[in-house]
Structure 1
Amino acid sequence: MTFPFDITIQLNQSGITGIQNKTIKVNGGITTFLGPNGSGKTQLLRGLKNSLGTHSNGKKIRYVSAGRLGPMETYRSDYDGQRGGRPRFDEATFGNKSSTTRRHQNETILGDFGTLSERPDILIKVQERLRKLFKRDLTLDWDGGVLKVFFSRVDETNNNNYSSAREASGLLHLVAILASLYDDEVGCLLIDEPEVSLHPQLQSFVMDEIIKVAGANNQPGKKLVFISTHSTEFIEISSVQQLSTIVFCKDILDQPVQIDPTIGEFQSRKLQALLTRLGQEHKLALFCHSPLLVEGPSDEIICSAINRKLNINLEAAGSQILPVTGKGQFPVVIKLMRLIGKKPALLGDADALTDNLDIISVFTTLDKANFYASELGHRDAPEFARNIYNDFCQLIANNWADIQSHAEQHYYWINRDTDKDELIAKRRSAFCWLFTTDDSTLSSIDNGGNWLTIKSRLSRLLELLEKLGCFILRKGTIEAYYQYVSTLTNDEKPNAASYEVNGLISETTENVASNYSDIIRALDYCSQAEKINEAEAIRDLLLAIVSPALAKINNESTENELKIYSKNLFGAKSSLFDLAIEVEGEDIYLIVNLASDILEVNGFPLKIKKGSNPIEIVNNSLRLN
């Protein structure tokens, strides 16, 4: 067996319309499927199980499901609510003699414990690791033709055996995975979510064991290993070759993405250096679709807090805030993310635009950039950006005196590095002053018309960049948006961000939306998720219940009759609302209250006059116009 080789995954038998077979490239002993829930990883693994026959070297193909502990739950839990809180721990069994012949087809831990009962050498390997690393011993016993498994503690004097159903689920998962890894009868092993029930350190141990056995299965003790995971502990990407073993999944209807390690982009020293030092945050970004790159910890703290405060649901929508150390790393990180099929966005300080065009050119050279530029009356996006930038720099060089007294009050100027080019500090502080000053003030300074023009042109450029996913902080840095911290040093930035978050949490959502609008646009761009609105969710049911109730009520109606009537029409759903009748002279009103403490909907109680338009009243009351 020689790497790489292609495998066509058979998916056209899945029964789901529109799913086509997928082809992946196996570049090494471990192939890892990454993607959000619902992206098709499990379907790909199952399809792969049926496609590996010619690559198994005559050995078994073993698939281990994410729900592998399922058969044990009838012994470990009150699975039907009739156990009286007393699970059948001591009745746990792992199959019979005949089931061991099917152990490689069994996708649960029953197959792996069947292997342990048949292979004393594998049992010894597992037992030794349990004893030395986890202070547990493992005993298998055939009792009346059924397999029973017991554990005991080796670090206690009274080390009596106890049923496997009483053991921690993580250790049961561990034993099963180790048994499948050490089984040399298996040539191809597929594990769906090996991290289930394992704490991070235990996940790292399992990954180390996977690495030991993974390889070409025509070599002794080696097997092809395929895993689907949501855990960074099962990702090894310190080199381009390792990155090429990852299959990035977006949707089962789409072709998964893999990188070609031989293409020119991956010969870049900067990119190779980045891979060798990827941290936990970068690995987390591999699981999302649209990572949002920010400049440092302070930016991450603030963005995360705003995300939670405004219920933007960034992570659930497939994004991840990714702090990048130093703005100079932006271009290479963005390039890497695009190569692996991601759509990265950037939230950068003003200096990401004022210092040079290196960062924004990563966006203005995108294929769609010229289309957006044409909407602004320009044919070429890079030229559009370059002309505005050059004119901005020229205006500052020639007319700094016009704004000097104002711009020198800005953070960028006060904290400038006096050993570096002073012109850089001028550009930074001038940009921020322009965007924090109203047009009437600008028009009153010397050459005010020129400054207003360049501000307008810069605004158009910023609009273009934001359509491409590049967001520049108009006030300069994240700290310039703070409402609760006035002065700080570089060393204090993370502490100041935490202090700001405390104040932000107690603020109204309206004030947060106003004060942090530049940041919120970046978060919304990456989320692109519809806002959760429980009022919308209940509107149709509310109208369905209210309309016949309005038609039914009269002067002689009782609330009990109304309740029975609604229940007959809508069953249990009618209990979501309390209906009452109110008579005022000749007018009859239906009073509707929300009978739930968990739904977050304002506008109740509703008072709806018989004969009125309930749609209009409901929409107005729930603010759904």
Structure 2
Amino acid sequence: MSVDQAALHPPQQNEPPARPASMLPLPLHIPVAPHLYGGGSVPLTLHKGITVLLGPNGSGKTHVLRGLKLALQSALDGLAQQSGRPHLKARFLAAGRSAPFEHFRGALTDPGGAHPAPAAVGHTDYRNRRHDFESLVGDMLALRERADLRFKVEARLQALFRRRLRLEWTQSGLVLTLVSPQNEYPANTEASGILHLIGLLAALYDDQVGAILVDEPEISQHPQLQAFLLEEMRRVAGDPVRERGKKIVVLSTHAQGMLPLRRIDDLPSLIFFADVHTAPRQVSPDAGELGRRRLAALVTRLGGSHRAAFFATRVLLVEGPSDEIVVGALAARFDRSLGGSGAEVVPVTGKGEIPETARLFRLMGKRVVVLADLDALADDNALVNAFAEEAGTKAAAIEAGHSKLAAMDGALRTAFASAVSEWWAEIAPLALGHHYLRDADVPAEKASRRAALAALLSAEEAALLRLPHGVEWCALRNRFGALLRALEAGGCFVLRRGTIEDCFRPDTPANTTGKPEAAADEAATFPEAPETDLRQRYADVLRAVERAATAPPIDENAFLRFQLASLLAGVFQVLKPGTGADEIALAAAAHHEAGQLFALENATSECGGAPALRVRITSPLFTRPTFPAIVRRDQNLHAEVERLLS
């Protein structure tokens, strides 16, 4: 019987309280502020000893973490009442937990610099309330009061850094001194990462704590130390009822190194946050996907890019490192911020892994976008099936006259295979140059089908119409176009030319598949390449990027346009041929902020007597090639400002 279950079935009068058999899994409802997820409460379940909250900044993780602390304290109090065990504390460590030491380290609270004295924190009156601190002060108090806890922490410091601790009360507070084989020094002169580690270890091994909640445990920890810290958390994490000395650990993190994910059954212990409008998502242990062998195998071999995508809201799956290089460079060239959109590019090892990887990220509530090579469509229907149930794809298939995407794809696949078999000789001249036909590891029939599809989708319509069965080939192309549009409506984009290398400039070296060096060479040309050329060669890629990178481009000019238009409109009201600099400055003073960006001079004499102003940008933060410029009052002010700051 869990803690919550015992609470639902109170003992009869004179009957001893039932001893709970376990505390986990622990279902909770966490109250949230009205601006989060529509208000009310968020249902969450702690399934294992470690639970991790993942998501972007501003998505409500810290708020929920604080709510979890209160809920866990209530559960621990109930455990003590039911079992007669000592009361355990729920301890919350905030992201700013080192703040009490920081004003001794730098010019944080005044411009005069760091406080020269050793850091002294806390007060003797706080010793019995040390678990209420959200900072490292509570841990330093615990280390001072308990030699056994201090030895537990020192054993690890000695192994990692050859450091020991000394804590002494002074009139100013508790002073922490670190002792090394060479010297000793105040804690405020030590690396902040070591201070964080000391506090976290103290909280982890404090047996008076039954639940520890840490906001961003990775702060100031290098990756290897993050891995060490996670292993220390694994040592103590568990069910406080079933295993004495174990405690519940809840983390909110942005670090891959703090993900306790080894097996697929660890997924329900991750809680995914997206934004303040969307309630956090948690995978149910009963989800059917967790029983899939291929998905389980994928989880065990997740690489760094896969794990990075756990923190994203959108995932763009591509086939290999070459695609990843090109996608990143194109996004930068067209000012589409993947990172600013919460998107992560994940290269998969071959088209066969796309459906399972997409399934994994959808299970977490991620929005999945795929950029696939053409052979993923040509060879079989796995890619189509992976997107058949997406709402956009289903609607597009119905609009094209098919009840399901599978039916649309099946009929087209059969018709195309028949056309290639019967009419290969006539489309071969268009397909023979494609590298698909040069792949010795691919059976001839499959290679021909791939190359024919690339030719069909890439060739000019006039070239197809010149073929003996040109009308039939064009009809097939139109049907493939409808299928591809349906897939794109669900987030799946297919490279019509074949692979990413088929989009490269003809003179790019090593124009073959599987060459990241060639992709890097190609990407290096993007900053200077004409936009129209890139849009033509990489049309499919850019649509995928735009689907994943939903954040609008940063537009500084929008702010400048507003300031300049208001400034010009105001000054033109008083401008005459003889208006001097002082009068212009007085008129501009009504637009103080704009006056910090732009300088105006009377240029009427240079424009045949028509009132005009010469405009210069004075801020070094903004340089534009269109300035300085002359603007006349008789011009369309809106259009001219738009032209200057487009």
TM tier, smaller: over 0.9
Do the aligned residues in 1 keep the contact of 2:596 with 2:619 (CA within 8 Å)? no
1:151-300 mapped onto 2 (5 Å cutoff): 151-154=178-181, 156=182, 159=183, 161-218=184-241, 219-300=243-324
Give CA-to-partner distance per residue, 1:327-359, whole Å, 9 cap, x none.
111111111111111111111110011001111
Do the aligned residues in 2 keep the contact of 1:8 with 1:22 (CA within 8 Å)? yes
Q: Following the alignment from structure 1 to structure 2, what is the Cα–Cα distance between the partners of residues 462 and 17?
A: 35
Give CA-to-partner distance per residue, 1:74-126, whole Å, 9 cap, x none.
1111124531xx41142421112112332211111111111111121111111
Q: Following the alignment from structure 1 to structure 2, what is the Cα–Cα distance between the partners of residues 15 and 508?
A: 45
2:466 paired residue number: 444
Deviation for aligned residue 1:600: 5.9
Q: Following the alignment from structure 1 to structure 2, what is the Cα–Cα distance between the partners of residues 87 and 598?
A: 31
Deviation for aligned residue 1:528: 1.5
Q: Following the alignment from structure 1 to structure 2, what is the Cα–Cα distance between the partners of residues 600 and 308?
A: 20
> What SS does structure 1 have at the residue aligned with 2:496?
coil
> What SS does structure 2 have at the residue aligned with 1:38?
coil
Q: Which stretch shifts more, 61-70 or 580-589?
A: 580-589
Deviation for aligned residue 1:259: 0.8
**Letter in structure 1 aligned against 2:150:** L
2:49 paired residue number: 29
CA gap of 1:135–1:511, structure 2 versus 1, over 3 A, is farther
CA gap of 1:304–1:15, structure 2 versus 1, over 3 A, is closer
- The CA RMSD over aligned residues, in Å, is 2.0
Give CA-to-partner distance per residue, 1:366-425, whole Å, 9 cap, x none.
2332212233344432212222222111111111111123312211012242xx532211
> What SS does structure 2 have at the residue aligned with 1:316?
helix
CA gap of 1:581–1:292, structure 2 versus 1, over 3 A, is same
CA gap of 1:102–1:340, structure 2 versus 1, over 3 A, is same
**Letter in structure 2 aligned against 1:415:** D
Are residue 474 (structure 1) and residue 496 (structure 2) matched? Answer: yes
1:284-363 mapped onto 2 (5 Å cutoff): 284-363=308-387
1:51 paired residue number: 71
Q: Which stretch shifts more, 74-83 or 465-474?
A: 74-83
CA gap of 1:513–1:534, structure 2 versus 1, over 3 A, is farther
Q: Following the alignment from structure 1 to structure 2, what is the Cα–Cα distance between the partners of residues 616 and 309?
A: 26
- Correspondent of 2:601 among 568, 580, 588: 580
Q: Which stretch shifts more, 372-381 or 230-239?
A: 372-381
Q: Following the alignment from structure 1 to structure 2, what is the Cα–Cα distance between the partners of residues 29 and 118?
A: 27
Deviation for aligned residue 1:145: 5.5
Q: Which stretch shifts more, 17-26 or 323-332?
A: 17-26
> What SS does structure 2 have at the residue aligned with 1:359?
helix
Q: Following the alignment from structure 1 to structure 2, what is the Cα–Cα distance between the partners of residues 601 and 380?
A: 52
1:434 paired residue number: 456
User: Aligned pairs, how many?
Assistant: 612
Give CA-to-partner distance per residue, 1:120-168, whole Å, 9 cap, x none.
11111111211221122222111126111112332x3xx1x21211111
Are residue 112 (structure 1) and residue 132 (structure 2) matched? Answer: no
2:26 paired residue number: 5
**Letter in structure 2 aligned against 1:340:** M
1:392 paired residue number: 416
1:149 paired residue number: 176
CA gap of 1:588–1:463, structure 2 versus 1, over 3 A, is same
**Letter in structure 2 aligned against 1:110:** V
Are residue 464 (structure 1) and residue 501 (structure 2) matched? Answer: no
2:129 paired residue number: 102
**Letter in structure 1 aligned against 2:104:** Y
Are residue 364 (structure 1) and residue 385 (structure 2) matched? Answer: no
Deviation for aligned residue 1:22: 0.3
Q: Following the alignment from structure 2 to structure 1, what is the Cα–Cα distance between the partners of residues 568 and 511?
A: 57
Deviation for aligned residue 1:509: 4.4
CA gap of 1:495–1:16, structure 2 versus 1, over 3 A, is closer
Do the aligned residues in 2 keep the contact of 1:236 with 1:243 (CA within 8 Å)? no
Q: Which stretch shifts more, 26-35 or 3-12?
A: 3-12
Are residue 68 (structure 1) and residue 100 (structure 2) matched? Answer: no
Do the aligned residues in 2 keep the contact of 1:10 with 1:51 (CA within 8 Å)? no
> What SS does structure 1 have at the residue aligned with 2:382?
coil
1:88 paired residue number: 115
Do the aligned residues in 1 keep the contact of 2:309 with 2:315 (CA within 8 Å)? yes
Deviation for aligned residue 1:232: 0.6
1:526 paired residue number: 548
* Unaligned 5+ runs, structure 2: 1-21, 80-86
Q: Following the alignment from structure 1 to structure 2, what is the Cα–Cα distance between the partners of residues 559 and 467?
A: 58
> What SS does structure 2 have at the residue aligned with 1:76?
coil
Give CA-to-partner distance per residue, 1:517-543, whole Å, 9 cap, x none.
221111110111212221113222222
2:84 paired residue number: none
Deviation for aligned residue 1:604: 3.0
**Letter in structure 1 aligned against 2:49:** G
Do the aligned residues in 2 keep the contact of 1:97 with 1:145 (CA within 8 Å)? no
Q: Following the alignment from structure 1 to structure 2, what is the Cα–Cα distance between the partners of residues 152 and 564?
A: 65
> What SS does structure 1 have at the residue aligned with 2:576?
coil
Give CA-to-partner distance per residue, 1:172-199, whole Å, 9 cap, x none.
1111111111111111111000001111
Q: Following the alignment from structure 1 to structure 2, what is the Cα–Cα distance between the partners of residues 489 and 369?
A: 32
**Letter in structure 2 aligned against 1:255:** A
> What SS does structure 2 have at the residue aligned with 1:131?
helix
Q: Under a length normalisation based on structure 2, what TM-score does the superposition of the two structures give?
A: 0.91
Q: Following the alignment from structure 2 to structure 1, what is the Cα–Cα distance between the partners of residues 368 and 279?
A: 19
Deviation for aligned residue 1:233: 0.6
Q: Following the alignment from structure 2 to structure 1, what is the Cα–Cα distance between the partners of residues 320 and 44?
A: 36
> What SS does structure 2 have at the residue aligned with 1:82?
coil
2:444 paired residue number: 422
> What SS does structure 2 have at the residue aligned with 1:271?
helix
Q: Following the alignment from structure 2 to structure 1, what is the Cα–Cα distance between the partners of residues 530 and 392?
A: 37
> What SS does structure 2 have at the residue aligned with 1:147?
strand
Give CA-to-partner distance per residue, 1:541-588, whole Å, 9 cap, x none.
222222111112222322233224323x23344211111210133211
Q: Following the alignment from structure 1 to structure 2, what is the Cα–Cα distance between the partners of residues 17 and 199?
A: 34
Q: Following the alignment from structure 2 to structure 1, what is the Cα–Cα distance between the partners of residues 528 and 641?
A: 30
CA gap of 1:509–1:128, structure 2 versus 1, over 3 A, is farther
Do the aligned residues in 2 keep the contact of 1:204 with 1:234 (CA within 8 Å)? yes
1:38 paired residue number: 58
CA gap of 1:20–1:606, structure 2 versus 1, over 3 A, is farther
Deviation for aligned residue 1:592: 1.9
Are residue 589 (structure 1) and residue 612 (structure 2) matched? Answer: yes
Deviation for aligned residue 1:443: 0.9
CA gap of 1:252–1:534, structure 2 versus 1, over 3 A, is closer
> What SS does structure 2 have at the residue aligned with 1:498?
helix
Do the aligned residues in 2 keep the contact of 1:594 with 1:605 (CA within 8 Å)? yes
CA gap of 1:100–1:506, structure 2 versus 1, over 3 A, is farther
